[in-house]
Amino acid sequence: MKIGSLEFQFFFLKKKIDKIQKHLLKNKKDISNKRNFLILLSKLKKIKKYLKKREW
Q: Which domain holds residue 11?
A: 6-55
Instruction: Note the pTM of the prediction, 2 decimals.
Output: 0.82
- How far apart are the C-alpha atoms of 27 and 22, rounded to whole Å? 9
Residues 6+ apart with CB under 8 A from 4: none
In a domain, 36, yes or no: yes
Mean per-residue pLDDT for 33-44? Answer: 96
Q: Looking at the domain assignment, is residue 1 inside a domain?
A: no
Is there a domain that residue 16 lies in? yes
Mean pLDDT throughout 14-39?
96
The answer to whether position 40 is within a domain reads: yes
